[in-house]
């Protein structure tokens, strides 16, 4: 059986700068003790973890402006396999404020969302149409402008993709509503998003989606595979340092385990949970220590 290539599509890239402080308080001028830059966005995070797992993948994204140029340089410098679609709208910026003493919780400030322009969306749609069959595409994060007609070419390309490939989603809002009405292979969402679709218990989930993974922070993960009864799995308990990106690490491990190792969904989630917990116990995203590729089961 041919191993599929894994694509992630980030609809709302982030040029993210992290400032570290040895304690800080509101209302005063603060001087950072450290500074770093990285490209954020759920699909980029998933791609980073897929690469750690040794899975062939390509991160698709929209970028523009000087902030987009900085993101592109970062992706190239780290040899992240990617395909960027240029937009006239600048890539959003964000700042993470981290207290190295642990006295203040980590806080993220995000700039305004700007949708990709119509030309970038058409270019992305053309790229998807050009891919061979039986590949996996994961739509990740928010997609500003999704309800507008500018997204018509991309939505049409996704409909065609469903006829020849596998589609996964970890999104919310209007894209989640649209995708949940189609025969997706997997939707991974959090508990709040589940309530927006079907109420607290998931009893009336849209029937066309084959598999569901619902996270709720450090609480049990709810899993449903086809017509099988849902199950819950408990994440390992860790001392949380930064929960940012742990859901993206979970998704990367789940889709790698399902579509490359051919594990059942429950086993894929059980396999993924320790890595998501390890991410929460360390700063950064997918940067926790350990030779991941050598510790995975065959």
DSSP state letters, the chain: -PPPPEEEEESS-EEEEEEEESS--TTS----SEEEEEEESHHHHHHHHHHHTT--EEEEEEE-HHHHHHHHHHHHHTT--EEEEE-SSPPEEEEEEEETTSSS--EEEEPPP-PPPHHHHHHHHHHHHTSPSS-EEEEES--TTTTSGGGHHHHHHHHHHHTTSEEEEE--SHHHHHHTTS--SEEEEEHHHHHHHH-TT-TT--TT--EEEEEETBEEEEEEETTSPPEEEPPPP---S--TTHHHHHHHHHHHHHHTS---HHHHHHHHHHHHHHHHTSSSSS--SS-HHHHS--
pTM for this prediction? 0.90
Per-residue model confidence as pLDDT tens for the chain (298 residues): 578 999 999 999 999 999 999 988 888 898 999 999 999 999 999 999 999 999 999 999 999 999 999 999 999 999 999 999 999 999 999 998 988 888 888 888 999 999 999 999 999 999 999 999 999 999 999 999 999 999 999 999 999 999 999 999 999 999 999 999 999 999 999 888 877 776 545 556 788 898 999 999 888 999 999 888 999 999 888 887 777 788 999 999 999 999 999 999 999 999 999 999 888 888 778 888 875 544 444 4
Q: Does domain 6-14+40-92+114-295 have CATH number 3.40.47.10?
A: no
């Amino acid at each position: 059986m041919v191993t599929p290539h894994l694509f992630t599509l980030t609809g709302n890239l982030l040029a993210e700068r992290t400032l570290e402080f040895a304690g800080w308080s509101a209302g005063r001028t603060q001087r950072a003790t450290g500074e770093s830059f990285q490209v954020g966005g759920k699909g980029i995070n998933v791609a980073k973890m897929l690469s750690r797992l040794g899975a062939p993948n390509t991160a698709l994204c929209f970028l523009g402006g000087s902030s987009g140029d900085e993101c592109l340089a970062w992706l190239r410098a780290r040899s992240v396999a990617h395909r960027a679609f240029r937009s006239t709208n600048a890539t959003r910026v964000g700042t993470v404020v981290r207290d190295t003493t642990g006295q203040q919780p980590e806080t993220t400030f995000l700039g305004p969302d700007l949708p990709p322009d119509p030309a970038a969306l058409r270019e992305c749609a053309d790229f998807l149409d050009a891919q061979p069959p039986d590949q996996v595409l994961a739509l990740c994060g928010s997609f500003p402008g999704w309800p507008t007609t500018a997204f018509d070419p991309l939505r049409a390309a996704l409909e065609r993709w469903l006829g020849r490939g596998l589609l996964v989603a970890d999104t919310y809002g209007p894209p989640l509503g649209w995708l949940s009405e189609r025969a997706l292979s997997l939707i991974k969402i959090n508990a709040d998003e589940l309530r927006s679709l079907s109420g607290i218990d998931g009893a009336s989930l849209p029937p066309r989606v084959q598999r569901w993974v619902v996270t709720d922070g450090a609480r049990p993960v709810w899993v449903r595979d086809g017509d099988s009864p849902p199950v819950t799995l408990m994440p390992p308990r860790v001392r949380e340092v930064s929960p940012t990106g742990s859901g993206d690490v979970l998704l990367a491990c789940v889709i790698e385990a399902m579509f490359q190792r051919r594990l059942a969904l429950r086993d894929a989630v059980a396999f993924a949970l320790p890595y998501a917990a390890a991410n929460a116990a360390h700063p950064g995203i997918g940067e926790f220590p350990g030779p991941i590729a050598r510790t995975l089961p065959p």
